Amino acid sequence: MNVQECIFCKITKREIPSKIVYENSLNLAFLDISPISTGHTIVIPKNHYSTLEDIPDHELTELYKVVKKTAMMIHKKLQIDGYNILQNNFAAAGQVVKHFHVHIIPRNFDDDKFRIKIPRTPADEADLHNVLKKMEF
Q: What is the pLDDT of residue 76?
A: 98
Q: Which of 99, 101, 103, 129 is catalytic?
A: 101
Count of C-beta atoms within a 10 Å radius of residue 1: 12
Instruction: Respond yes or no: is residue 58 known to be catalytic.
Output: no
Count of C-beta atoms within a 10 Å radius of residue 29: 26
DSSP 8-state code for residue 56: -
Q: What is the pLDDT of residue 118?
A: 86
pLDDT in tens, 10-36: 999 999 999 999 999 999 999 999 999
Task: Report all structural domains of the chain as residue ranges with CATH numbers, in order of start.
Answer: 3-134 (3.30.428.10)
List the beta bridge partners of residue 30: 20, 42
pLDDT in tens, 30-68: 999 999 999 999 999 999 999 999 999 999 999 999 999
Q: What is the pLDDT of residue 91?
A: 97
Residue 123 vs residues 24, 78, 119, 128, 130: alpha-carbon distances, Å: 44, 39, 9, 7, 12
Pairing of β 27-31 and β 20-23: antiparallel
CA 117-108-87 angle, 5° bins? 55
Residue 61 vs residues 26, 27, 66, 114, 133: alpha-carbon distances, Å: 11, 11, 9, 28, 29
